[in-house]
Structure 1
């Protein structure tokens, strides 16, 4: 199964039997059999025949629509949800009990910080010239990991978010040095992304978030109701939870794309302070993501199944955390 990326102007998609027919400026350019697809990603002004939505839903094919200007998600067709509503009942119970949420939240933050630590260690091995900033970041992360591993009785969601924020600040203080100064990457900035690295991180996190939403639906969990991220109108908080430990993996891929010069300065332009990736750059990014995303999608499904089967039942919270340690 594969993904279909539709990122062209004046493109129309129609249903042609058991395939999607692609038209550009009214001329048929080809067909893609539905049985080969797992998801469709569209960006910009793509016209979609209404019958296509039914066909995608019937075959459990996901759909992600990205805005043309900032590549944020504007619409999603996730996946057919699991039929066991008891899983969602367990999830709702958990969401109302901080004593059940905290062990999972601690595990999530610990796994994420460890992943940040691994990336910086790999970077230090490859970039001895950056020993000072990377070692300083690693020292801070080591201290935070030590605090997270202590069996403190007063740990709370608020304190865990404080640890995560401190870890993120230390991590990006080292991570920024992995990119040449010509890219003007000074730290994580979302809206709008002011430089090529942030533009790539934003697009990558959007794609990863959609895969997390699909993982939630597949195992029968409510993607809007998280255990670490609180309720927020319009936000898939559980999907945000599941993807947090995988953010450093996306960071590594972005670093690799620039390090191997798959992405270069000519793939980007400035639009009144907003950095935008051009069509050639997006094609490179999509291809790289699809060639590497299998491992991330498997992890997301594994996390989702573990939550549904081991945690979201009475008395099952410690099992998941103990297993992941």
Structure 2
């Protein structure tokens, strides 16, 4: 076990030696040794002893607390951070100089568009009936990829964002066709998610974002200072940067969940315009995510270490 998902009401979490003791309505239900854990995902009305937080921090075990209503993270404990401050000095310089940001941003958009194209090609192999929309979108993405490869000196971040936006429009126009009409998935809409597919995407992106935050902490980078996403109050822009190329991967996982009927309409309900996944649906989602998240987490750490090396070189090359 590396991840522990706790999703229930009236849960108590206490420290019992080198383990977490779990209580439900005051009755002990079991325990989990701390040495087995890398992260905990907590949802629902739970009470934690303060000693639990100290034990998690001491052992670099991450904790993310999800809102019970909108699947967004309300609190995070990311674990220990790398001690090399030089990396952050280079990161700060990069975040305010377009000449340093743009090459990184161009590479990020190129990788994301390539990932979107890969998913559509995989979908085409499974859905020959959608050849026309999938092929059309893939052709558009190929054209954007070619433009990104040729324009190595991208003139501005706004140009890159325009290309990313054009790619997203073409991609989602085709991606929405992969789902059954009764799911009412017509495009990405997150505040609040109005349909089962958007509910899954929101939860998946939240979990992926936390893994990106954790990757930033591990390599000693400031999560708030990105190179593609601008500085914005309360937003962990670097974590947003790191997870962008993995969004299409998450999209593919959500498609697989519905295609293989792991998730179905009965796993969702609607409350005042918001689509909510029930407990059975969440359990299935968590289990599916955990079997596949290892590769995504390794990739996020690889991105993080690559950035850390680059930021260090930026600082060392300063005038």
TM-score class, shorter-chain normalisation, is over 0.9
Measured in 2, the distance between the counterparts of 1:154 and 1:205 equals 28
Deviation at 1:310, TM superposition (A): 3.0
Measured in 2, the distance between the counterparts of 1:188 and 1:275 equals 13
Corresponding residue number in structure 2 for 1:247: 247
Corresponding residue number in structure 1 for 2:74: 74
| 1:102-147 per-position Cα deviation (integer Å, ceiling 9, x unaligned) | 0000000000000000000111111110011111111211111111
Deviation at 1:316, TM superposition (A): 8.7
Listed as ranges, the matches of 1:138-153 within 5 Å are 138-151=138-151, 153=153
Distance 1:15 1:91, change over 3 A: same
Pairwise CA RMSD: 1.2
Corresponding residue number in structure 1 for 2:99: 99
Asked if structure 2 preserves the Cα contact closer than 8 Å seen for 1:6 and 1:46, the reply is no
| 1:183-237 per-position Cα deviation (integer Å, ceiling 9, x unaligned) | 0000000100000000000000000000000000000100110000000111100
Deviation at 1:311, TM superposition (A): 4.2
Measured in 1, the distance between the counterparts of 2:201 and 2:220 equals 28
Deviation at 1:151, TM superposition (A): 2.9
Measured in 2, the distance between the counterparts of 1:63 and 1:224 equals 19
Deviation at 1:39, TM superposition (A): 0.4
Corresponding residue number in structure 2 for 1:294: 294
Measured in 1, the distance between the counterparts of 2:136 and 2:113 equals 15
Q: Which runs of 5+ in 1 are unaligned?
A: 318-325
| 1:169-195 per-position Cα deviation (integer Å, ceiling 9, x unaligned) | 100000001000010000000100000
| 1:247-293 per-position Cα deviation (integer Å, ceiling 9, x unaligned) | 00000000001111100110000011100000000000000000000
What secondary structure, in the 3-state scheme, does the structure 2 residue paired with 1:206 have?
A: helix
What secondary structure, in the 3-state scheme, does the structure 2 residue paired with 1:76 have?
A: strand
Corresponding residue number in structure 2 for 1:185: 185
Distance 1:154 1:241, change over 3 A: closer
Tell me whether 1:59 sits opposite 2:59 in the alignment: yes
TM-score by length of 1: 0.95
Tell me whether 1:15 sits opposite 2:19 in the alignment: no
TM-score by length of 2: 0.97
How many residue pairs get matched?
Answer: 317
What secondary structure, in the 3-state scheme, does the structure 2 residue paired with 1:42 have?
A: strand
Asked if structure 2 preserves the Cα contact closer than 8 Å seen for 1:82 and 1:220, the reply is yes
What secondary structure, in the 3-state scheme, does the structure 2 residue paired with 1:313 have?
A: helix
Corresponding residue number in structure 1 for 2:308: 308
What secondary structure, in the 3-state scheme, does the structure 1 residue paired with 2:314 have?
A: coil
Corresponding residue number in structure 2 for 1:268: 268
Measured in 1, the distance between the counterparts of 2:152 and 2:67 equals 44
Deviation at 1:152, TM superposition (A): 5.2
What secondary structure, in the 3-state scheme, does the structure 2 residue paired with 1:79 have?
A: coil
Asked if structure 1 preserves the Cα contact closer than 8 Å seen for 2:4 and 2:39, the reply is yes
